[in-house]
Every structure is written in structure tokens, then in C-alpha cells.
Structure 1
Amino acid sequence: MSERAKVVGLHGGLLVLLFALQFALPAYHHGNLARIMVLASFAIGYNLLFGYTGLLSLGHALFFAAGMYGAGLSVLHFGWSPAPALIVGLAAGAAVSALLGLLALRTAGVAFMIVTLMFAQAGYLAILYFGKWTYGDEGFVIARAARMLHGVDLSDPASRYFAALALFAVSLAVCLWLVRSRFGKTLIAIRENEERTRMLGYDTFARKLGAMVISGAISAAAGAVYGLLFGYVGATFASVQYSIFPLLWVLLGGAGVVVGPFVGTLFMFYLIDLSSGVTTAYMLIAGVVLVLLTLFAPQGLTGELRRRLWPWLP
């Protein structure tokens, strides 16, 4: 079997499996998996910047929140339907990531990480400051009647699952296509040796900016869809923890592997879920497991699979 066939078979098989699980899972896990697919799409956006371009950002909560508030406020204050609200959220995330990229990409390494973190915190504080419109820390609920997309009720569990699957499928396909394209290979070259890539004649700043805008747009789409599907928009999603989460999901699943973010998100979600059912000190259990994984699978779960068994994993 050719490498292309293996890649298509693996990623296509994952989508087919997720489609089939809609009809087999009990209600609790059905809802969990819908949430995981949306958050995994957020992690896919992060992986494009961190895993493939080598830029460690601590500001992705800003993009997720830009998409969420762009869509949510459009519905709340202007009465727009989900479709145009989603477009507004996507555009807001792309615009914010482009602006941040133009400023933050003038730095590198730790400085880049700190600048992205500071901008994300500024976004979080802005949400609290303009609480008259954003409802601050309490957030707001998007009414069920406002979550109708061409007659489809997005609050219905089945519709919500398929919408989450559609977002995940598009995010996965875009990421897979990008990393196998010339643009994606240039990003990997920048990650490995930016100076040499620049010497070969590539405009590394423009390509990193492009990666940041695409990453921000995917993250914003996840934020917008999350708000529309689950009916809540709050400042928590702009806080620093939502910049740390995608980093953890990507590291656990495998940075620089297309399916890594999904595996990491799934693993982390159920690790905390199952641990909390055993003890109130569930974060202690989660912490021990994460340390063990870091020690014995430093490249992440799918990263280790690529190193040991499947070197063709993109």
C-alpha cells in the first residue's frame, strides 16, 4: 500500500468511525465526544503553529474567544442566525491573529511566548471591562431559538454531534492538505532551521504570519462553533487556561502529527473525567499520568507511534 493510501485510509477511517459512533454511544459519551471534537479542532489550529512551525504561543485563548464572542455577540445584540454569526467569528479570529502576528513575530523564542500571553490577557481583561456588552465574567446564554440553522436545531444532540463532526472533518482535512503542500513543507523547514530556510530565498516572516492567521482562523471557528452548539459564551474561555489546554493536548497527542491533537484531547478529557469519579484529588492522578507520559513517551502518543511503527504519519 502506498504512503498516500495509508494516510487517506487512516484519517478517513477515523472520520468514518466518529460518524458511526453517533448511532452507538450512550447519551453521556455522545455529548462528551461532540465537545471533544470541537476542542480537538481548536488543538488542530494550535498544532499548525506550534507542531509544524515551531512557534510556542501562549495566546491562543484570544483566538478561540474572538471566534466565540464574534459569533455570540452577533446573535445576542444583532439577532443574526448561526451562519452569518459563524462567519463573523471566523473573520474576527483571522483579523486578531493577523494583527497579533504582525507584532509578535518581530520577536522569537521566549519573547514570542510572553508577547502572545500578554495580548491574550489583554483580550481577557477587555471582555471584563466591557461587561455591559459582553456580560463579563458571568457570560451569557444563547437562546435555543437563536441556534436554528436553516431549520436544524443545533441544540439537539444529534444535530450538535454532526455539526461538531463537520467542523472536525474540515479542520483535519485543511491541516492534512496544508502540511503535505509546499507551504506546509516550508513551515517544517522553518521549524527545523529558520536561518537556512531564509538563506534559500523564502520569506520566513510572511510564511509564519500565514501560519498564524490560518491557525487563528481554525481556533476561532472552534470557538464560534462551541458557543453556538453548547449555548454559552463566557470570559473563562479567554483566560490563560484555554491557552495552556491546547498546548497540553498537542504535547500529549503528538506535536507535528495531524491526528495528535484529537488523540491528546480525547485522552486528557477522559483522564480527568475518570479520575474525578474516583477521588476529589483527581488532578493529582492526572498529574502523575502526565509526568509518566512525558518521561516514557516524550514525543506524545501518536509521536511515539510514528517513531516506532508508522514513520509515514504526517
Structure 2
Amino acid sequence: MVDRRQILWLVAGAVLFAALPAVFGNYGLYLGSGLCVWIIFALAYDLAYGRTGLLSFGHAMFFGIGAYAPALLAMHFGWGFWPGIAAAIVLSGVFAILIGNIALRVTGHAFVVITVIFSAILELLAFSQRRITNGEDGVSVDITKVPLGFTELDLHDPYVKYWLLIAFLLLTFLLLNWINNSTLGLAFRAVRENAKRAMLLGYPVHRYKLAAFSISGALSGLAGALFGLLNFHVSAETFQITVSINPLTSVLVGGAGTMLGPVIGTTFIFLLSDYLRSLVVYADFAIGVILVLTVLFSPSGLVGLIEQYKARRRARSRDAGETPP
């Protein structure tokens, strides 16, 4: 369930997103739309890494599958928005199950390497299969209408697209919050804290890891699909390792294993990258430095710093309220 504090954060976030286009116009639409996509990706990634400890450098494969699925199905079979979104989620989830069954047989560095290898294979296929994917030129996403009962939305309208992305972000947040507070979420945490102990207690550890990895992959596919629809174009670059590093960086900086961590981390990294976008080398360097400092001095991320600050304030309040003997 969503507690009172999270409801306040959701309301504050909704107000902030609503204010972006009102205050900054088209630039606000660009910022808000991009944030929606990358926050969904970070939330999805955190389910695997933050909740079950599965460090993956290959989540771009699910993002890329999700990006290509609606585009290719629209181009070759004339599929529309909702079938394309459904296909992106299902195909990414099924692929995550297949890869998970292979990668989860090993742990540590070997798991990381396997995820990277499969992502690289898909990137190579996207480049080489020109008949299907147009190779390095990529594919235009020919989906412009969103059927809604007796009406339809036009994706060429940036405001329509913006609020649609916000709706998907809200649904993703609520879904993951429900999962994390369910019995399944408790099992994920038990596996993350001590997999061997969880196994001794009777938890089917492999099955829970596979479930987290698969759901994470499916929602990463949703993020990829929305990315393609946002830009009306997808390319093989969606499979690159830098795309996999984006959510990992956001989760580490914001705070792994929390609902707000991926949101705060993504917002911070996205705004910093946009501010330094004309200085690509400096942007990457700055993000790298921030990531190292976070790992060294605040492993729990920005959310952890906020919690520590609040704990110190509460401690000072208690001390101030004590009556001297």
C-alpha cells in the first residue's frame, strides 16, 4: 500500500511535472518527457538490483527490445499503440526469462558478463539485419494515434504525449510499490540480504531472482517502447552499454532498494547531463566523480543522506527536550 508520506511525494511530483511546461514551455515538455522515460527505466532496474541484488550491465537489451517492438510491428504488420506497448512488455519479459535462466546459474562477475554479452549480440543484430531493422539508420516509429474508447489521442501533440508519459510513470510507480510491499517483495528482500539463509529457510531463491529479473526486464521494455514513441525513432544505440549504465548510476546516486531513490537519482543525473550536454566529456566526468563519491561516502545514496539528516534532527530535538538533572 502507499503510505501517507509517499502520497505526499506523489502529489508533490505531480505538481512539479504539471508546472514544468507551464514555467519552461517546450523546454519543460522536453525535460518532463525525458524524465518520465528514464525514471521508469530506473525504477524497473532497481527491482532487479536494489531489491534482489542482481547487478546487470545488460538491461539495455530489454530497453532496446521494447523500443524496437512497436516500431517493427507497426512497420511490417501495421500494429497500433496498445498492441505495440503490450508486445514490448511481453517480448522483453519473455527474453528476460530466457536470459535469466542462463545468467542466474552463475553469480558475481560471471552474471554481469553474460548480461553484457547478450546485450552486445542484440546490438550487433540490430546493426546487421538491415532488411528488418534498417541497420545503423534505425526505424521510424509510425504510431501517431492512441485509441481511447470512442476517441483517440494524437501523439503529434507534445502535451498529449507528455501527460500520457506521466500516466505510465504513475502506473509503474504504483505497481512497483505494490510489489515491493507484497509477500513477493518481502521474499525479494530476504534473497537480497542473505540468499543462502533464505534458501535454508525454504525460499526458492532461483525462482524469486528470476521473477525479479523478468519483471524488471518487462518494465524496462515498457520504458524502451515509450522512448521510441517519444522520439518517433529507434536505433541500435538503444542496446549500447551506456544505456545500461544510465539506470544503474541513477539508482546508486539516488538510493538503491527504495521507491524514491531511482526518482531522485534520475532527476539529478538527467538535469546535470542536460546542463552539461554541450560538454559531453565533462558531463561524463562529472557523473563519474559523483558516482564514485556516492559509493565511497554515501552508499545509500541521496535518499540515505536525507534519512541521516532527518535522524540527526530528531536526535537533536530529543536532546533539546530532555530536562537536565
- Scaled by the length of structure 2, what TM-score is found? 0.88
Per-residue deviation at 1:102?
0.9
Separation (CA, whole Å) in 2 of partners of 1:195 and 1:296: 28
* RMSD (Å), alpha carbons: 2.1
| Residue 112 to residue 289, structure 1, CA distance change in 2 (3 Å) | closer
Matches within 5 A, 1:77-116: 77-116=76-115
Whichever residue aligns with residue 10 of structure 2, its letter is: H
Matched with 1:163 is 164
**Range with greater deviation from structure 2 (274-283 or 293-302):** 274-283
Matched with 2:145 is 148
Matched with 1:172 is 173
Q: Does 1:55 align with 2:68?
A: no
Instruction: Indicate if the aligned counterparts of 1:37 and 1:262 stay in contact, CA closer than 8 A.
Output: no
Matched with 2:224 is 223
- Please list the CA deviations of residues 186-232 of structure 1 after superposition, one character each: whole Å capped at 9, or x if unmatched: 10111110011111111111111111111011100111111112201
Q: Does 1:270 align with 2:294?
A: no
| Residue 103 to residue 11, structure 1, CA distance change in 2 (3 Å) | same
Instruction: Indicate if the aligned counterparts of 2:138 and 2:235 stay in contact, CA closer than 8 A.
Output: yes
Instruction: Indicate if the aligned counterparts of 1:68 and 1:226 stay in contact, CA closer than 8 A.
Output: yes
Separation (CA, whole Å) in 1 of partners of 2:311 and 2:187: 23
Instruction: Indicate if the aligned counterparts of 1:255 and 1:303 stay in contact, CA closer than 8 A.
Output: no
Per-residue deviation at 1:297?
2.9
Per-residue deviation at 1:139?
0.6
| Residue 229 to residue 275, structure 1, CA distance change in 2 (3 Å) | closer
Per-residue deviation at 1:306?
3.0
Matched with 2:25 is 26
Matched with 2:208 is 207
Separation (CA, whole Å) in 1 of partners of 2:284 and 2:215: 33
Instruction: Indicate if the aligned counterparts of 2:249 and 2:291 stay in contact, CA closer than 8 A.
Output: no
Q: Does 1:138 align with 2:137?
A: yes
Separation (CA, whole Å) in 1 of partners of 2:277 and 2:230: 25
- Please list the CA deviations of residues 258-299 of structure 1 after superposition, one character each: whole Å capped at 9, or x if unmatched: 121121111111112222457974434444444444444332
Separation (CA, whole Å) in 1 of partners of 2:135 and 2:7: 44
Instruction: Indicate if the aligned counterparts of 2:252 and 2:291 stay in contact, CA closer than 8 A.
Output: no
Instruction: Indicate if the aligned counterparts of 1:51 and 1:256 stay in contact, CA closer than 8 A.
Output: yes
Instruction: Indicate if the aligned counterparts of 2:254 and 2:261 stay in contact, CA closer than 8 A.
Output: yes
- Number of residue-to-residue matches in the alignment: 307
Separation (CA, whole Å) in 2 of partners of 1:212 and 1:239: 19
Separation (CA, whole Å) in 2 of partners of 1:205 and 1:122: 25
Separation (CA, whole Å) in 1 of partners of 2:253 and 2:219: 20
SS of residue in 2 equivalent to 1:162:
helix
SS of residue in 1 equivalent to 2:135:
coil
SS of residue in 2 equivalent to 1:209:
helix
Per-residue deviation at 1:53?
0.5
SS of residue in 1 equivalent to 2:136:
coil
Separation (CA, whole Å) in 1 of partners of 2:202 and 2:298: 36
**Range with greater deviation from structure 2 (17-26 or 165-174):** 17-26
Give the fraction of aligned pairs with identical amino acids, expressed as a percent: 34
Separation (CA, whole Å) in 2 of partners of 1:57 and 1:109: 10
Instruction: Indicate if the aligned counterparts of 1:253 and 1:263 stay in contact, CA closer than 8 A.
Output: yes
Whichever residue aligns with residue 44 of structure 1, its letter is: L
- Scaled by the length of structure 1, what TM-score is found? 0.91
Based on CA coordinates, which of the two structures has the bigger radius of gyration? 2
- Please list the CA deviations of residues 121-151 of structure 1 after superposition, one character each: whole Å capped at 9, or x if unmatched: 11111111212110112212224xx311123
Q: Which runs of 5+ in 2 are unaligned?
A: 313-325
